[in-house]
Amino acid sequence: MSKPNDQLQQPLRLALAPPPDALERLFRVFGDELIPLEQLRARYFRNMNAETFKAAIGTERIPLPVTTVVTSNKRQQYVHLRHLAAYIEERAWLADEELARRLSPQAGGEPE
């Protein structure tokens, strides 16, 4: 039995679990556990056109797994709410780490 394309994506390896309130807020924004890719792009990746976004999702550039509900050639693709929340949490954590590194005297950063 062959594997669907969805299983060929990189596994999502996020350091932090999303806080429950983040899931609730995202659910209020999107209204469902499964977020259509176009809604996700329009909300968080506006700087990318649809083609660039579709090529980047599920790769190193945007490591979010894409899921589908049916096995059809014209199937709609989604990102699960929990994956998006964890991704946002990880990006925030990385931003905190980067800021701490830049502000650290040992890193050679000069105070302004």
pLDDT in tens, the chain (112 residues): 445 555 565 565 655 678 889 999 999 999 999 999 999 999 999 999 999 999 999 999 999 999 999 888 888 999 999 999 999 999 999 999 999 999 987 755 555 5
Instruction: Decide if 111 is inside a domain.
Output: no
Which CATH number is 68's domain given?
1.10.10
pLDDT for 13 equals 61
In angstroms, what is the C-alpha Rg of the chain? 17
Instruction: Decide if 21 is inside a domain.
Output: yes
Looking at the structure of the chain, the number of domains it has is 1
Residues ≥6 apart with Cβ < 8 Å to 58: 9, 10, 64, 65, 66
pLDDT for 31 equals 96
Domain of 93? 16-104
